Structure 1
Amino acid sequence: MNCKALIFLVPHPNTPIVTFDSIAALWAKTDVTGQMLLLIALAGVAIFAIRHLQSLIWNLSEFSRFRRSSAYLQLRETNGAVMLMALPLTLAMTINVAFVSGAVFVPGLWNVVEYLFPFAMTAFLLVGVLALRTFADIFGRALANGHFDCTRNNNLTQLLAAFAFAMVGVGMAAPAAMSTVKLTIGLSMLGTIFFITAAVVIALILLVLGARAMLTNGLAVEAGPSLWMPIPLLTLIGIAMLRISHGLHSGFELHIEAPHRLLITAVFFSLQLLAGLLGLSVLRRVGYFRTYLNGPARSPGAYGLICPAVGLFVFGMFFLHVGLVQNGLIEKFSPVYFVALAALAVVQVLGIITMFRLDRRLLAQPARSPAEAERVA
């Protein structure tokens, strides 16, 4: 999250993203207040990168043990098999974390970035192949055997499959926005188009199925945070589209003007707000926050509240800067700009607070269902 703040607030005229060199240049000419803000942002990037790697190692170890159990075989025969898509999703996130951390903390890395892009695209392609194999196994089995239970699909958890493909797609799109080599840009765009198209098609199908089941049977309350999964999904798809437009501009001389970027960001941000408001209304009606965030019940699914906050903040920064500032609707560093920036910062802070709160509730002791919580109470 702090990385997007750095990208839009730290000047980097010679590179498409913030690098160690641009941060060092700003540090040398800013005052003490500016240096303190830079330290806070860099500390945030480092802390969350380390946290991600620690969680990755722990989860891979646990998943390795889980795959050898009978519960794994049972999971593959249920709607919950979609949770296996979390593996390629997380691996794609890890590549993004490594790339951003290297750019920010390794001096001079950008000087050799063109040599790194092929390796990054290969890594994303391998993760994409894993995602395709996992998806084909899960949903191919469901289509062949007809064991998918539509009545118990009364949530949007199945969108995790689309989320995984979108994460691969947006990572694959990075060279299109950053490279100066036409072949690299072209290959990046082609890979992005494949995985983002897959994400969109899968998301539309699963969104309709989930909405129909919820309208028929009501929301599965414990899976309530899945109502907000369209928010980060839209963030990834929107950023991928912006990166493709940049690649078309720099590599193929198809110039995408600022008003077009305003249209793209406004549409995606509007959809995110719509999903956010609708999800908030439903979650309040079913008492999700009272039960799983502030009450005695604990559920690992509550971590699903964090990613939408990240997604809304990240794409909000794109809407503010690429959409509004670049089109002259808001002047950068004006009072209105800081009001908009503060609103986005509130979303980010709420996400961080929720994460640490859930850490205390869920990692300190095992999760407890509402029924178990009532018996204890």
Structure 2
Amino acid sequence: MNTSHHRPADTWSPLYFLASLGPGGLAVTFFMFLMFWVPHPGQPVPVFEHIMSAFTSGGLPLKAAILLAVTGIAGFVFLNIKMLIWNLTRFSQFRKTESYTKLVNSNGETQLLAMPLALAMTVNAGFIVGLVFVPGLWGVVEYLFPLAMIAFALVAYLAFRQIGNFLGRVLSDGGIFDVSANNSFAQLLPAFALSMTAVGMAAPAAMSTVPLTVGVSMILSIMLGTVAGLYALVAAITAFNSMLHHGTAKESAPTLMIVVPILTVIGIMTMRQEHGLHTTFAAPSGVADNLLLTTTILAIQIVFLALGLLVLRRQKYADAYLRGNGNSAGAYALVCPGVALSVMLQFWINKGLVSAGLIAKFGIAYWSFTSLAIASQVAMIVLVFFLNHRHFAGRARMQSVPAE
């Protein structure tokens, strides 16, 4: 049988929404260049005017960094939106199939949370595009914050509805949830989706000067972040117990590192809330608070990265799904930890080490640490293009493996 024109992505699963999430996260890594290298006095984030001023008056290295950043943001947000539209189209078709009915009656129903996760990322990426490319946006930004919170509230509603469908089904009747098949961190996907909406909901708390907007942003983001943390804790404990009994499911092994992006977005949410408390409600945080927070998060992330990479190597995951004949949409989950690590390193360096006075900005130590963040970023860029070619180009003699 001729399979030369078959693409692995033709065997669709909701985890392909992660192919949209990854580019959105990479756009954020490029925004970190602007966030921490472009001066923006008196404002929490750089906007178009700051970027143009820095590009006009800055030296050649800064000009090159700005050009690289805006190009990266534009390119990866385009890819993010393109993949989101493709996935939404495929999802509408998927809902009419028997595969959908089978999915929503299995442990894999939580894969559907990849959709609100990707939607929340796209809203976040859209806000970055506005800041970077739209002149005069800051003059009307207070009118945009309520609209952004409404968008995140709608995404959160979708996520809670899907979580409710899943929990209502498995908790109302016994014996439905297959505990033996819960031997991965795949069930933490709902927590990831909620945390992504929480970090977006917290943005007005850090940027708005209207007390009501800041207060509503803080309350809603705290609620979403708390629920995300609670869900992640319960899901991780039950999953770890199953993994100890049955080992880690090979195809779902990348989910062992899902804790890394969850902690990054929760950490950014917390820093945004603290900024709002300081600027709006006169409750300043200590100089080293961000250093303590980001260092603690990095320590936990390193543990789960090491654990995940250890299991992936022992199970020869790359031989099966990256170099071999098998394919899994879940391989896109490998992008999230690397992106999240790059972003958290940038915050640890700039909001932690530099702000606490431990290292000088743009000194040797600064660039030594920053090179680690950039290395992780570059590796994930390569991985995204590699996976896109593998899954979306026509390939001969390749079997697409449905995600568990």
Please classify the TM superposition score into its range, dividing by the shorter chain length: over 0.9
Contact 2:342 2:372 in 1 (8 A): no
TM-score (norm 1): 0.96
Letter in 2 for 1:34: L
Match of 1:258, SS?
coil
The one-character-per-residue Cα deviations of 1:335-357 (angstroms, maximum 9, x if unpaired) are: 11111011111111111111111
**3-state SS of paired residue (1:274):** helix
Describe the superposition over 1:196-250 as per-residue Cα deviations: whole angstroms up to 9, x where unpaired.
Answer: 0110000000001111111100111111110110000000111111111111111
Show the counterpart of 1:225: 254
Give 1:368's aligned residue: 399
Q: Work out whether residues 313 and 348 of structure 1, in 8 Å CA contact, stay in contact via their aligned partners in 2.
A: yes
Match of 1:64 in 2: 92
Amino acid in structure 1 at the alignment position of 2:40: H
Identity %: 43
1:305 aligned partner, one-letter code: L
The superposition leaves residues 5-29 of structure 1 with CA deviations (integer Å, 9 ceiling, x where unpaired) of 2111111113211211110010111
Whether 1:276 aligns to 2:305 is: yes
Q: Which moved more, 1:87-96 or 1:45-54?
A: 87-96
Asked if structure 2 preserves the Cα contact closer than 8 Å seen for 1:10 and 1:22, the reply is yes
Residue equivalent to 2:15: none
Contact 2:33 2:65 in 1 (8 A): no
TM-superposition CA deviations, 1:122-153 (whole Å, max 9, x none): 11111111111111011111111231101001
CA deviation vs aligned residue, 1:59-98 (integer Å, no higher than 9, x gap): 0000001111122111111010001111111111111011
1:23 paired residue number = 51
Residue 35 (structure 2) pairs with residue 7 (structure 1): yes
Secondary structure of 1:139's aligned partner: helix
**Partner AA of 2:255 in structure 1:** S
Match of 1:260 in 2: 289
**Equivalent residues in 2 for 1:134-149, closer than 5 Å:** 134-146=162-174, 147-149=176-178
Query: Which of 101, 105, 112 is matched with 1:73 structurally?
Result: 101
**CA displacement, residues 169-196 of structure 1 (integer Å, 9 cap, x when unaligned):** 0000000011111111100000001100
In the other structure, the counterpart of 2:379 is 350
Match of 2:130 among 102, 111, 134: 102
- Equivalent positions of 1:1-377 (< 5 A) are 1-146=29-174, 147-365=176-394, 368=399
The answer to whether the 8 A contact 1:225-1:304 is kept is yes
TM-score (norm 2): 0.90
The structure with the greater share of residues assigned to helix is 1
Q: Which amino acid aligns with 1:245?
A: E
Corresponding letter in the other structure for 1:258: V
Q: Give the gaps of 5 or more residues in structure 2.
A: 1-28
Distance in 1, matches of 2:60 and 2:373, equals: 24
How far apart, in 2, do the equivalents of 1:230 and 1:77 lie?
Answer: 26
Pairwise CA RMSD of aligned residues?
A: 1.4
Question: Whose relative contact order is higher, 1 or 2, with alpha carbons under 8 Å and at least 6 apart?
Answer: 2
- Structure 1 distance, partners of 2:230, 2:155, is 19
**Which stretch has the larger CA shift, 312-321 or 361-370?**
361-370
CA-CA distance at 1:369 after TM superposition: 5.4
